Structure 1
Amino acid sequence: MRTALTELTGVRHPIVQTGMGWVAGPRLVSATANAGALGILASATMTVEQLRAAVREVKSRTAAPFGVNLRADAGDARDRVRVIIDEGVRVASFALAPSRELIAELKDAGVVVIPSIGARRHAEKVAAWGVDAVLVQGGEGGGHTGEVATTVLLPQVVDAVDIPVIAAGGFYDGRGLVAALAYGAAGVAMGTRFLLTSDSTVPDAVKARYLAASVKDVTVTTRVDGLPHRMLRTELVADLEKSGRVASLTRAVRHAAAFRRISGMGWRQMARDGLAMRHGKDLTWSQVLLAANTPMMLKSAMVDGRPEAGVMASGQVTGLIDDLPSCAELVDRVMTEATKTLDHLHAEPEPEPEPGPGFSPSGD
């Protein structure tokens, strides 16, 4: 199935595995790439050198194209861009709009630039800056999210820009891919569906929590970092919703200290990154600290296997997922179902039966 996305990135299928922190590591990305989809390596939870090592590990596992996801507001974003260029990574994706300068630097090196956006005006802005495509996430998607549903946001963006649009938020099967193509998208991006594969390194106990969840077990809260964040309801989320300012600040400082040890970042850089994530919002200092070290809260569940002590970003589709296929099985299933759906839509209708002897339109 050739679309503007497959032509742009060189993958076989118009499917993207999103760059989920602590989840989209070398094993998942290479498995996705070998399956013919676009795997995106998450770099926000890595140091620059860890990122370089992870990129090289993916390259040792696959010769297929893949991408790296960056935080455009990170203090070392330019160093990470240099790794992408030096290592010959095909795609750079961004959780926020990158600057004109970063876009130009990447494009001059032949890297495909695909930022994620959540509003039509954001898509128009980055398109004017020269990005190659945009990934549009509707409110059904996991992690930081907006209020507008994919079915409303996607056609707005498709009509507003002349570059390929990738649809995200609420996709998990071939029917969804066909629906996105019908809206004018060039493909779909899936996070939760790839998290729930056998190639994902997320602990089995955590995957079991996802598989057991219903659609109603997914919530949106602003108490993690001050921004709307879609995730599973967990003990920690419940505590955050009920806790006062002192308890929130104490928890934030503890998590920040742990993230500082792992990332090698100084307190000043962590505070600067946290402030950058405010995006004009009136956040408390505890929320600023949490914004800078939300990765630690994700790590508790996604790496340490402690869902009761961490946050579990999740799209609403988790309530519709009940198995753990490999990436190869998942991509093959999606494409097979998409082909069958298209064949069904294109099938000629059954001819009306010819009236038999004695037939009268009036029923006489």
Structure 2
Amino acid sequence: MTTAQVLRTPLTELAGVRHPVVQTGMGWVAGPRLVVGTANAGGLGILASATMGFEELERAILEVKSRTDQPFGVNLRADAADAGDRCDLLIKHGVKVASFALAPKKDLIARLKDHGIMVMPSVGLPRHAEKVASWGADAVMIQGGEGGGHTGSVPTTLLLPSVLDAVDIPVVAAGGFFDGRGLAAALSYGAAGIGMGTRFLLTRDSAVPDAVKQLYLSYDVNGTVVTDKVDGMPHRMLRTELVEEIEESSRLKRLTPTLRRTLEFKKMSGMSWLDLARDGRTMKKTQGRSLAQMSLAANTPMMLKAGLVDGDTSAGVLASGQVVGVLDDLPSCEELVDRVVTEAVDHLRGAHEMLVAIDV
């Protein structure tokens, strides 16, 4: 039996979930199994669509809907050539939340909102939050530098208050969260909830191979590294032998495997060369990526798949937040969400008792 709602925040009201806990849309990790586990536990599960073809995404949405009646979301690439078509898919199937790794265009936000879909882009700076808020976004998610995958350099403790000061819409905090103390702290800052990636990856509901999960659990807080050698953008991942080799290798030495994996991704995704070129042009326009960075970006999905899906850590990379160093168990999503919420309530009550004690 999952915990009844004990915390009401703008996130729980907007998304219609019981608890202000978000399972982030991690590529190759956040599939139907993990999303269903999170949704049934009362959190907001988010499907990762960037590593899915269009038809595959529709099948995943339908699978989630067949296994839960709770709200869930889909994470979309705003710069994808078929972003509009994917948004229409969310509208068609009544998905509750659309999250974005980059700022979606104003007309896309309006289209989703017109159909009752909550729009929550991820942002890394206050000015980005201000922009999407002015375009009508319902909420934003920030990720501090502690977070896994693509990340910035500003820690959550500085990024969160600066974004809260910049906008009036709800802010969900991610980067460095793994327990109820973190949720209590985020709510005390003024956040509407927390997002967790690595913590949900390391659950029994995650489809990541068990051997890979055990590898994650063997790392300490210094076991991650932020590198731009994988896809040209700062990316936090486990410090494996492969990553160390990539860090030390020359650009020329990385060229052949990069091209091979780009071909693999093209075949797996069903994208045409024209689609890849369009995506590349959009990356260059919206993110300022160079040709070399765009080539690396096309390479990344297959390197992540090798580690997170195939379990081949000698050929794949493993995205991870710094919290990996303080995790030592594999709970179910239900156990995790219940534990986080219960701990948060205890800490918030403790803070209230301190206020009473000093007669404020």
Check whether TM > 0.5: yes
1:88 aligns with 2:94: yes
Say if 2:84 is the partner of 1:78: yes
Q: Give the aligned CA root-mean-square deviation in angstroms.
A: 1.5
CA distance in 2, matches of 1:33, 1:93: 16
Q: CA deviation at 1:347?
A: 2.0
Match in the other structure for 1:283: 290
Match for residue 156 of structure 2 among 142, 150, 158: 150
Shift of 1:281: 4.1
**Which residue identity lines up with residue 298 of structure 1 in the other structure?**
L
Cross-structure match for 1:361: none
Instruction: Deviation per CA, 1:201-233: give whole Å up to 9, x if none.
Output: 000111011100111111100101111001111
Tell me whether 1:126 sits opposite 2:115 in the alignment: no
| C-alpha contact 2:259 2:299 (8 A) present in aligned 1 | no
The size of the alignment, in residue pairs, is 351
Q: 1:227 maps to what in 2?
A: 233
Query: What residue is the counterpart of 2:11 in the other structure?
Result: 5
Is the CA contact (8 Å cut-off) linking 1:273 and 1:292 kept in structure 2?
no
- The CA deviation at 1:268 is 2.8
SS at match of 2:236: strand
Equivalent residue for 2:63, pick from 50, 54, 57: 57
Q: State yes or no: 1:247 paired with 2:253.
A: yes
Change over 3 Å in CA distance of 1:346–1:295 after alignment to 2: same
Quick check: 1:236–1:310 contact (8 Å CA) kept in 2? yes
| Structure-2 change in CA distance of 1:349 and 1:50 (3 Å) | closer
Of 99-108 and 287-296, more deviation after overlay is shown by: 287-296
Matches within 5 A, 1:107-186: 107-186=113-192
The residue type equivalent to 2:248 in the other structure is K
- Cα shift at 1:16: 0.3
Residue 251 of structure 1 aligns to which amino acid in structure 2? P
Task: Report the counterpart of residue 320 of structure 1 in structure 2.
Answer: 326
Flag structure 1 segments of 5+ consecutive residues without an equivalent. Answer: 353-364
Instruction: Check conservation: 2:283, 2:289, Cα contact below 8 A.
Output: no
Q: For 1:186 and 1:37, how far apart are their aligned partners in 2?
A: 13
Q: Which moved more, 1:57-66 or 1:227-236?
A: 227-236
Q: Does 1:46 align with 2:62?
A: no
> Residues 225-282 of structure 1, C-alpha deviation per residue, up to 9 Å, x if partnerless?
1110011112221222122222211111010011111111122322332343345545
Residue 299 of structure 2 is aligned with which of 290, 293, 296?
293
2:22 and 2:45 in contact (8 A); partners too: yes
Amino acid at match of 2:290: L
The amino acid across from 2:106 in the alignment is R
2:73–2:97 contact (8 Å) kept in structure 1: yes
Task: Provide Cα deviations, 1:49-73, integer angstroms capped at 9, x if missing partner.
Answer: 1111100000011000000000000
Q: Is the 8 A contact 2:9 2:192 kept in 1?
A: yes
Match of residue 215, structure 2, among 203, 209, 214 = 209
Which blocks of at least 5 consecutive residues in structure 2 are unaligned? 1-6
Distance 1:233 1:274 in 2: 28
Which secondary structure does the structure 2 equivalent of 1:216 belong to?
coil
TM-score by length of 2: 0.95
Structure 1 residue matching 2:206: 3-state secondary structure: coil
**Structure 1 residues 351 and 140, CA gap change in structure 2 (3 angstroms):** closer
Please state how far the C-alpha of 1:350 moved relative to its aligned partner. 10
Residues 1:339 and 2:350 are matched in the alignment: no
Deviation of 1:35 after TM superposition, in Å, equals 0.1
Amino acid aligned to 1:326: S
Farther off after superposition, 207-216 or 340-349: 340-349
Q: Give the counterpart letter for 2:68 in structure 1.
A: T
Distance in 2, matches of 1:129 and 1:344, equals: 39
Q: Would the aligned equivalents of 1:170 and 1:316 in 2 still touch at CA under 8 Å?
A: yes
Using the alignment, how far apart are the partners of 2:335 and 2:165 within structure 1? 33
Which stretch has the larger CA shift, 287-296 or 70-79?
Answer: 287-296
Once residues 160 and 350 of structure 2 are traced to their aligned partners in structure 1, the CA distance between those partners, rounded to angstroms, is 24
**TM-score w.r.t. structure 1 length?**
0.94
Task: Give, in whole Å, the separation in 2 of the partners of 1:89 and 1:282.
Answer: 32
- Measured in 1, the distance between the counterparts of 2:78 and 2:298 equals 14
Equivalences for 1:258-273 in 2 at 5 Å? 258-273=264-279
- Give the share of equivalent positions with the same residue, in percent: 65
| 3-state secondary structure, aligned to 2:147 | coil
Give the counterpart letter for 1:64 in structure 2.
Answer: Q
Q: Which residue in the other structure is 2:26 paired with?
A: 20
C-alpha distance in structure 2 between counterparts of 1:322 and 1:309, whole Å = 25
Say whether the 8 Å CA contact 1:277–1:291 is kept in structure 2. Answer: no
In structure 1, distance between residues paired with 2:267 and 2:357: 70
> Aligned letter for 1:283?
S
Q: Which residue of 1 aligns with 2:75?
A: 69
Structure (1 or 2) with the larger CA radius of gyration: 1
Shift of 1:306: 0.8
> C-alpha distance in 1, partners of 2:165/2:241?
42
